[in-house]
């Protein structure tokens, strides 16, 4: 792309976000979404005054310097004070370095629909948080009132916090990473919620569910948001089997009139195949799909690029 084209596409992407987030109650969102913003191989996420860029593939990495200048020009008069780049593929050492503006802070406080969160930019996954689930977190908050909630693969506790603020009677968060629970508890305190009133369990999800079923424990609302089970096309069959096993285990600890929220971020598993892991035979009980959502509008996609619609968020009861 020519310099002018970089500038045009960065500015157009920023103007879309200007329209989407006018009320200022959300300052954590995706600024650039790869193909959907006509900048394939690049994502850029905003966390308050900081924007973090991540590349996908060697081609995008080689053109990173071409993007940084035009993107900074589009951002710096929109309240962004630091532009950073995250490097390091799966299995490699991850580094986040500021490339424009003020020094980069390791942790920043942001808001989603007025709900405060702490985001660990230095050690968090992706660019620091999973911004694609923002609208689904809000929906869980709406469903949680008066319910006992189980959040599996809870990471930094986004679904847990919105459930607690939505009036859940109790929230149990399960993740293998104790450090993620520490970040979640900081967010609870920032939002005025006492984390001691809820449970944070450091455990393998499968082992936890097996134990909970054996003890006869039940929850009114179960959220399952696992990491991708299908990193490539060859893994799809194995991934579908893993989803079926997980969803059956979730259904086994769900109250008779409960709600199951099941997510998949695997781009190689389309919506039809994913829903096939949530049928009556897979769950071992009769449940109906009442909603199917995806990522928020700050994650635009191309009509001819279905792989871009990677996130599935199914609500069943």
Q: Which residues are catalytic?
A: 265
- Positive or negative, the CA dihedral 178, 183, 186, 190 is negative
Of 53, 51, 72, 54, residue with least CA distance to 6: 72
Rounded to 10 degrees, the C-alpha dihedral 175/181/183/184 comes to 90
Distance of alpha carbon 198 from alpha carbon 192, whole angstroms: 13
Distance of alpha carbon 101 from alpha carbon 118, whole angstroms: 21
CA angle at 186 for the pair 145 and 116, rounded to the nearest 5° = 60
182-191 in b/e form (b: 16+ CB < 10 A) is ebbbbbbeeb
CB 84 within 8 A of CB 75: no
Distance of alpha carbon 191 from alpha carbon 179, whole angstroms: 19
CB atoms within 10 A of CB 169: 15
């Amino acid at each position: 792309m020519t310099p002018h084209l970089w500038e045009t596409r960065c500015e157009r992407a920023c103007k879309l976000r200007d329209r989407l987030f006018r009320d200022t109650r959300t300052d954590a969102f995706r600024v650039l979404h790869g193909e959907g913003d006509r900048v394939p191989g690049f994502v850029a996420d905003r966390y308050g005054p900081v924007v973090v860029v991540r590349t996908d593939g060697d081609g995008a990495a080689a053109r990173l310097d071409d993007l940084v200048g035009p993107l900074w020009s589009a951002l710096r008069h929109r309240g962004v004070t630091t532009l950073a780049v995250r490097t390091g593929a799966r299995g490699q050492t991850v580094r986040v370095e500021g490339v424009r503006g003020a020094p980069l802070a390791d942790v920043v406080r942001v808001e989603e629909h007025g709900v405060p969160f702490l985001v660990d930019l230095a050690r968090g996954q992706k660019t620091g948080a999973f911004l694609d689930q923002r609208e689904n977190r809000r929906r869980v908050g709406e469903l949680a009132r008066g319910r006992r909630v189980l959040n599996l693969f809870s990471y930094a506790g986004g679904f847990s916090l919105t459930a607690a603020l939505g009036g859940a009677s109790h929230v149990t968060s399960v993740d293998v990473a104790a450090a993620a629970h520490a970040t979640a508890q900081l967010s609870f305190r920032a939002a005025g919620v006492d984390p001691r009133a809820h449970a944070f369990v450091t455990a393998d999800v499968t082992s936890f569910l097996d134990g909970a079923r054996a003890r006869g424990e039940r929850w009114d609302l179960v959220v399952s948001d696992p990491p991708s089970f299908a990193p490539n096309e060859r893994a799809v069959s194995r991934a579908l089997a893993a989803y079926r096993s997980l969803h059956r285990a979730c259904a086994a600890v769900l109250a008779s009139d409960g709600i199951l929220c099941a997510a998949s971020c695997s781009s190689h598993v389309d919506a039809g195949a994913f829903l096939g892991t949530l049928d009556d035979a897979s769950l071992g009980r009769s449940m109906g799909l009442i909603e199917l959502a995806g990522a928020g509008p700050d994650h635009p996609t191309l009509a001819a690029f279905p792989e871009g619609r990677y996130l599935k968020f199914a609500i069943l009861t």
